[in-house]
Amino acid sequence: MSKTKKQRLGTWGEEQASLFLIRQGYNIVIRNYQIRQGEVDIIAWHNKQYFGRTLCFIEVKTRSYGLGSAERATGKEKQRKVFRAAQQYCIENKISLDLTPIQFEQVSVYVDEKIKKVRLKKYVIPVE
């Protein structure tokens, strides 16, 4: 089954986000980690200034310019699904939730297909 234009844009955006994160020193472990209750687009290790080696769970949102805010696209329900998937990933890989610094992030990818311009922004998703 072929992908829709939106799915192709999303896949392309995840690739751009991965390259962006690698340039920033992230070591990507896995992409598109899925469980029945949720998924995480990118899981990576990164050395954070205050926490040292940190396991990062990263959601990627791709938008064409003028088609809404990528930052607002990760709502509470999506966050719950990402958190569940992150917890399961840690259990499966015997990563201690108490001893390992963990951070949730989002990379927003904005693309203007007419002029072939791409803009990426990275945010920390606060955990409540």
pLDDT band with cut points at 50, 70 and 90 for residue 126: confident
The predicted model scores a pTM of 0.88
Q: What is the CATH number of the domain that holds 103?
A: 3.40.1350.10
pLDDT tens-digit readout, 64-88: 765 555 555 566 777 788 899 999 9
Checking if the pLDDT of 108 tops 70, the result is yes
Checking if the pLDDT of 18 tops 80, the result is yes
Total domains in the chain come to 1
**89 lies in which domain range?**
5-124
DSSP the chain: -PPPHHHHHHHHHHHHHHHHHHHTT-EEEEEEEEETTEEEEEEEEEEETTTEEEEEEEEEEEEETTS--SGGG--HHHHHHHHHHHHHHHHHTT--TTTS-EEEEEEEEEEETTTTEEEEEEEEPPP-
The overall average pLDDT reported for the chain is: 86
